[in-house]
C-alpha cells in the first residue's frame, strides 16, 4: 500500500466503520499511523480492530438517533478528517414497492445522518481539514439501486458539492467517492446460492469483476493526502468502468 507520511497522527472520524468499506477505510488510515474513531450501530468488527490497533477508538451509535449521536461526538475535541460512509441499501425496490416508512429510513440513514454528523463536528474540523463522503454510482445514474437509494445517493452528491463550495474558502477540502460493485456485507445476498447474481453483476462491469473494499480505501487515502490538494467537490467513481458504458 502507498505510504502517506502526512496522515500520521491525523485525527479521523469514520461512520459505518464496523463493516465493508468503512472498516477497510478505518484499517487503511490506522496502517498509515492515523488516530481513528469509528461510529457504527454494530461493534463486533470495531472491537477486533481496536485489539489490533491501540490508536482506534469506537462508539456504538444509531446515527439516525440525534441524541445518541450528540453524545458520541461530545468526546471529540478536534478533527482533521471526516469520512461519512455509513449507509443502507433499499433492495432495488421500485416506487410501487417502497413504503413511505422505507423511503424515510433510507433518506434518513444515507443523507440526514451525513448532514447531522457533518454539522455537529464542523466547528471542530481544522482549517486544513478534509471531508470525504461515500456516495455511489447510484448517485450519478439510475439502476444502481431502487427509488429511495438512488434518490439518496444523488442527494449525497449534491450535499458534497454544495459543502465543497461553502467550505472552500475556509481551506476545508470536501470530495466524494462513488463506488460501483464492492464485495461487502451490504451485497451478501448477491453471493448466496452459488453466487449466480454476483456473477451476472460482474459481467455488467467493464472490467468483469467486483472490487474489494480495500480498493475503495486506497482512493480514500489519496483523497485525504496532500496529493489531492487541488480537488474540491469532485466525485471519484471507483466502479471498474461502470459509468463509461
List residues with catalytic annotation: 149
DSSP state of 111: I
Within positions 178 to 217, which residues make up the interface with ligand NAI, using CB under 6 A?
Answer: 179, 181-182, 184-187
- Nine cell digits for residue 50: 481496536
Least gap, CB of 154 to ligand NAI (angstroms): 12
- Nine cell digits for residue 215: 480498493
User: Please, how many CA atoms are within 13 Å of residue 23, restricted to the half-sphere of its CB?
Assistant: 20
Site string for ligand NAI, 40-79 (x = CB under 6 A): xxx-------------------xxx---------------
Query: Which of these ranges, 1-9, 81-89, 162-170, 200-208, lies near ligand NAI under the rule CB under 6 A?
Result: 81-89
Whole-angstrom distance, CA of residue 72 vs CA of residue 91: 30
Q: Count residues binding ligand NAI (CB under 6 A).
A: 26
Whole-angstrom distance, CA of residue 1 vs CA of residue 61: 31
Whole-angstrom distance, CA of residue 134 vs CA of residue 179: 8
Among 13, 18, 106, 237, binds ligand NAI (CB under 6 A): 18
The three-state secondary structure class of 152 is helix
Whole-angstrom distance, CA of residue 98 vs CA of residue 111: 17
Within positions 89 to 148, which residues make up the interface with ligand NAI, using CB under 6 A?
Answer: 109, 134, 136
Query: Which of these ranges, 39-47, 73-81, 95-103, 115-123, lies near ligand NAI under the rule CB under 6 A?
Result: 39-47
Residues that bind ligand NAI (CB under 6 A): 16, 18-22, 40-42, 62-64, 85-88, 109, 134, 136, 179, 181-182, 184-187
Amino acid at each position: 500500500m502507498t505510504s502517506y507520511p502526512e496522515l500520521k497522527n491525523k485525527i479521523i472520524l469514520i461512520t459505518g466503520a464496523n463493516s465493508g468499506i468503512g472498516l477497510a477505510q478505518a484499517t487503511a488510515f490506522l496502517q498509515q499511523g492515523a488516530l481513528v474513531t469509528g461510529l457504527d450501530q454494530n461493534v463486533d468488527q470495531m472491537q477486533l480492530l481496536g485489539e489490533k490497533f491501540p490508536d482506534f477508538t469506537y462508539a456504538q451509535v444509531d446515527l439516525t438517533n440525534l441524541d445518541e449521536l450528540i453524545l458520541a461526538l461530545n468526546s471529540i475535541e478536534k478533527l482533521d478528517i471526516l469520512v461519512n460512509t455509513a449507509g443502507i441499501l433499499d433492495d432495488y425496490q421500485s416506487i410501487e414497492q417502497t413504503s413511505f416508512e422505507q423511503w424515510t429510513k433510507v433518506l434518513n440513514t444515507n443523507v440526514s445522518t451525513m448532514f447531522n454528523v457533518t454539522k455537529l463536528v464542523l466547528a471542530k474540523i481544522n482549517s486544513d481539514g478534509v471531508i470525504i463522503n461515500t456516495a455511489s454510482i447510484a448517485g450519478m445514474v439510475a439502476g444502481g439501486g431502487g427509488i429511495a437509494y438512488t434518490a439518496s445517493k444523488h442527494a449525497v452528491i449534491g450535499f458534497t458539492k454544495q459543502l465543497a463550495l461553502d467550505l472552500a474558502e475556509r481551506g476545508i477540502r470536501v470530495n466524494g467517492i462513488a463506488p460501483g460493485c464492492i464485495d461487502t456485507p451490504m451485497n451478501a445476498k448477491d453471493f448466496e446460492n452459488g453466487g449466480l447474481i454476483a456473477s451476472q453483476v460482474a459481467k455488467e462491469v467493464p472490467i468483469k469483476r467486483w472490487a474489494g473494499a480495500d480498493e475503495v480505501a486506497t482512493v480514500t487515502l489519496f483523497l485525504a493526502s496532500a496529493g489531492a490538494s487541488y480537488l474540491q467537490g469532485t466525485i471519484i467513481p471507483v466502479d471498474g468502468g461502470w459509468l463509461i458504458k
